[in-house]
Amino acid sequence: MMLSRLIADLRPDWRITEAASGNEALELIERDPPTLVSLDVNMPGMSGLEAAGRIRLHHPDVRIVICTANIQDYVRQAAEKAGVQFVSKPITPESVAHMVAFFEAE
């Protein structure tokens, strides 16, 4: 909820859709592929890293950011291997601004 609010503050014209689990996120993306996706590493049903990999298979142009407090090297390496950006928690206005800049970059 905090992430959604901070993004909405920066980009009020963006449509934001939230999912309660990795499986729900995949279903929503299949129905209406977004330009960008933000996932947590720890999600109900499947990890954010697994969801990112599945999204990449079907929607390679979607930009994905993984948010997590888990900053272990293997998590960073897995995010990099999946072709996603990594943002450390806690979520702050600065980290959200960085995330938005990543999404808007060419």
The topology (CATH level 3) of 2-104 is Rossmann fold (3.40.50)
CA distances from 90 to 1, 5, 6, 28 (A): 13, 14, 13, 26
pLDDT computed for residue 83 by the predictor:
79
- Asked if 65 and 34 count as a contact pair (C-beta separation under 8 A), the reply is no
Per-residue pLDDT of the chain (106 residues; tens, 9 = 90+): 788 888 889 989 888 888 889 999 999 999 998 878 888 888 888 988 899 999 989 998 888 888 877 667 877 787 777 778 877 788 889 988 888 887 787 5
Extents of the domains making up the chain:
2-104
Q: How far apart are CA 51 and CA 15, in angstroms?
A: 20
pLDDT computed for residue 76 by the predictor:
76
Q: Which pTM does this prediction carry?
A: 0.80
